[in-house]
A and B are shown apart, each in its own frame.
Chain A
């Protein structure tokens, strides 16, 4: 596809190239490949340097979490769920905990509501910092990842200080959170936020006002607005198409109704627009974190009482709890039959649609060199596809 024809809408039908003709090359990108996010792979058929057909392959990362959860007690699942989406585990913790609380009729304390909101925003920032390095790197820009990985580590330091863990925080426990903030913690947070913000200013100059990045990203991976509902596209991918949809506003969960923010919405719906929108969301994250610190109650309990964790029987029922994560709508569908273990837990990761069906279609006609950049621009995490 010549760039002057972008943005264009790839055909809905898959091509049926004759692989024996000698005209095409069958090529696998992944599961071990720097141009793929996580452990999945793309089976590409290319003609010259243009992708003719793509088939997304998952299955390299299936750990059977949903089934494992049916065999563990409600509380034992708490340390398990964070593993479902490795780079952004806290949303699993939140959705699972909130589902349990809803089914059990547990009201969490005000302080826990704010600490959850705070830690989820911190998580969002860390997740975006990881993404931005990947986005720049996939277009051949190696500097950004050096900066953003450092910034992410600063944020992970904050998590370590608050929760005792850098990657798997296991902080949002059913009933509330596991501890109040340590002394002097918010001072560290604000210092790190200032550092990150300065760094983002630099990144904006170097990456977003960069002719190379613009040339490669603009027009790439155009998602027409009518795909949004058809494919179940959520999060920044949908907002970049002009759809004002943000669960933080729409559902108003946790302390979000008390925070001042407006969903960042774009219009062009290409890779550059999505990247630009995510950068703005990173600034928004920093702002929300500062707001949380200002508005959070200083005192008060951080956890409600829950039944004995060894014998907790959640009343029979079902619920679906969703939250807005960096990729879009993250949800847990939890069914209880009134026993000591969940009957069914189904996880809705936004990457499922973005990395499988949307990716498969968007990549048709794209230059082989842009496949990696396109995939990162959809911001997908294969661990949440397979659970």
Chain B
């Protein structure tokens, strides 16, 4: 203790003349810092209602609720997060994890109300003063809790790939598959966008857990073509994927393939459900494509005896004859079909309904008939000279390639069209050593083909000619007639004719090109071939499409008269077995997974229909 200990404290006097802090800075509205974690804001337009915020919230402060003005649609659950501030701890993990980046927090922290109920509200849907505030907590640049980048799929080098029909996509390793599966947040937004409503989060979780048998079981609940769909599905699920809103979507299709690839066909029977006891019913399926065989699989599971009639020498339909081997190798397809056959499904190969056996005969021999004949008839170019011998049809070229027939395409090939058949035909031609031009009447972004296919076709060396309207095909000058053709096309520009509709191509006067090709492959779409349905079958068709009811059953037309649209299905019941239809023949989506979904749906419809008949 010294003298300083008595004097030093008086230093405090120097502050006696200072204004106190509260006087210098009186209580005033003080905004929170720019990063302040205040009340939530949500860009409800950007939000897709995936519910990842709800899943991460440790306090269960977030509930996904229906929001006025937001209807459920593909890629949007129609729900929006409601925050309960009686539970929220302001940790902002919801903001960090939000896949779309729609959630944020404002820097507002004062909100006084006598009604406790108001502190539970849906940000972005119920207006609040802090909506749209640029300040407040946001996920920092370069900081994500979820992985935005997809695990790259190993592929053959394109230069090498174009030399062979080997499968281009090599498939994930276990480590890659598990890493990719770990990106999924199991929100399930994808399920609604899958025509077959597959349990996508379920089987992805099976990959994460390494439980392939459970994964396979989940796949077969809704899809007996996992090997095929795991390779060539149009994967609309990936367009809906929540992770895709802020990065690459989860590679759902590749994960499906991974599961199917991991289980040997011999082990399928140990994992998958067994067929129910024989029902005594016999069902005929016309067409052994994915739709017909799916119907056959689910009907067989229900205990029915199924016979599939296939006009070609092999089963698989478009999966075999329309999709080249480098996208879907035949052993993979055979695995899917092999399991369906192992359940006792009989496939009558090389038996065309209409010529080898009449539809009426099937209707008398079987209790129900399912038509899944797809769209085998290619549309023609509808230009002068479209019957030229060098104008080939894309589907026929692909089928010939499958059968191993010589294609004789020549050195220079034009492919007309922008769909998947066009891409497959072009890539098949490339693999046959041709130089390929793909001519499409609209722009690249308008092409209906899968973007991957377009990218791969171009990477393999096809050149894309956009905005090319076909005018005429004629013999090339100086060439041997019938060996080469001159393709005449008009350059177009895109014109917005009607608001809200996509622009249409309009020919630029004078910009006409004439190019000689050895072959011109037309791949501009296909239609059905219903020549096997006679008038005596009394099945209602509208614009070459069967009209089906909720069971998938084709309405019966009144004898000798076109049925009124929407006439009751049972207007004139006949004794012949009911006919059901599905797949490309009926639906507008025209892809394998929709046909599979139709087949599953029709199998349930047929089962219920037979049960209803009580016989």
Contact = CB atoms under 8 A, between A and B. Distances in A.
Interface of A: 72-73, 75-80, 143, 150, 157, 160-165, 168, 170, 178-180, 182, 202, 205-207, 209-211, 214-215, 301-303, 305-311
B182 interface: yes
7 contacts: A76-B58, A150-B21, A160-B32, A164-B105, A165-B37, A308-B185, A309-B146
B288 to A, nearest CB: 40
B96 A160 contact: no
A281 B471 CA distance: 87
Contacts of B5: 209-211, 214
A178 B92 CA distance: 11
Contacts of A309: 56, 93, 97, 145-146
Given A78-B93, A178-B96, A307-B182, 9 more contacts: A76-B58, A79-B58, A79-B93, A80-B58, A162-B35, A168-B90, A178-B143, A206-B9, A206-B11
Contact of B12 (A160, A180, A206): A206
Given A164-B137, A308-B146, A308-B182, A210 B9 contact: yes
Contacts of B136: 164
Contacts of A214: 1, 5
Contacts of B8: 205-206, 209-210
Q: Which 4 A-B pairs have the closest CB atoms?
A: A79-B91, A209-B8, A179-B140, A76-B58
The number of chain B residues touching the other chain, given as a range, is 35 or more
Contacts of B96: 178
Contacts of A165: 36-37, 90
A72 B89 CA distance: 15
A160 B145 contact: no
B97 A211 contact: no
Interface string B1-34: 1001110110110010000010000000000111
Contacts of A182: 34-35
B360 interface: no
Contacts of B208: 311
Interface of B: 1, 4-6, 8-9, 11-12, 15, 21, 32-37, 52, 55-56, 58, 89-93, 96-97, 105, 136-137, 140-143, 145-147, 182-186, 208
Nearest to B107: A164
Contact of A205 (B9, B32, B143): B9
Contact of A178 (B12, B33, B140): B140
Contacts of B4: 209
Contacts, number: 109
A164 B33 contact: yes
B11 A202 contact: yes
Given A182-B34, A206-B9, A164 B147 contact: no
Contacts of A73: 58
A210 B143 CA distance: 50
From DSSP, what is the main secondary structure of chain A's interface residues?
Answer: loop
A16 B314 CA distance: 98
A77 B59 CA distance: 11
Most buried by B among A78, A165, A202: A165
B53 to A, nearest CB: 11
Nearest to B55: A310
B137 to A, nearest CB: 4
A77 B186 CA distance: 20
A207 B5 CA distance: 9
Given A162-B35, A182-B34, A76 B11 contact: no
A164 B35 CA distance: 5
B21 A164 contact: no
Contacts of B52: 310
B440 to A, nearest CB: 40
A143 B35 CA distance: 33
B211 to A, nearest CB: 14
Contacts of A211: 1, 5-6, 9
B9 A209 contact: yes
B56 A75 contact: yes
Contacts of A308: 145-147, 182-185
A191 B9 CA distance: 26
Nearest to B187: A310
Contacts of A157: 33
A308 B144 CA distance: 10
Nearest to A158: B33
B54 to A, nearest CB: 11
Contacts of A161: 33-35
Contacts of A205: 8-9, 11
A72 B58 contact: yes
B143 A303 contact: yes
A77 B57 CA distance: 10
Nearest to B96: A178
Most buried by A among B32, B93, B136: B93
Nearest to A163: B35
B130 to A, nearest CB: 15
B56 A310 contact: yes
Given A306-B145, A308-B184, A202 B58 contact: no
Nearest to A308: B182
Nearest to A72: B58
Given A165-B37, A179-B140, A209-B9, A79 B89 contact: yes
A320 B55 CA distance: 29
Given A202-B11, A210-B9, A310-B52, A75 B34 contact: no
Contacts of A150: 21
Contacts of A307: 182
B545 to A, nearest CB: 44
A310 B90 CA distance: 18
A285 B61 CA distance: 38
A202 B18 CA distance: 14
B9 A77 contact: no
Contact of A179 (B35, B56, B145): B35
A309 B92 CA distance: 14
Contact of A170 (B6, B21, B92): B92
A213 B58 CA distance: 46
Contacts of A162: 35
A301 B142 contact: yes
A205 B8 CA distance: 5
B522 to A, nearest CB: 47
Nearest to A71: B58
A10 to B, nearest CB: 25
A164 B109 CA distance: 11
B100 to A, nearest CB: 16
B179 to A, nearest CB: 9
Contact of B186 (A75, A305, A310): A310
A176 to B, nearest CB: 8
Nearest to B149: A305
Given A80-B58, A310-B52, A305 B147 contact: yes
Most buried by B among A182, A207, A215, A309: A309
Nearest to B2: A209
B383 to A, nearest CB: 54
Contacts of B137: 164
Nearest to B52: A310
B49 to A, nearest CB: 17
Nearest to B12: A206
B23 to A, nearest CB: 13
B101 to A, nearest CB: 15
A14 to B, nearest CB: 34
Most buried by A among B9, B15, B52, B208: B9
Nearest to B38: A164
A123 B4 CA distance: 32
A72 B21 CA distance: 44
Contacts of B36: 160, 164-165
Contacts of B146: 308-309
Most buried by A among B33, B96, B97, B146: B33
A75 B145 contact: yes
B220 to A, nearest CB: 24
Contact of B37 (A164, A305, A311): A164
B56 A160 contact: no
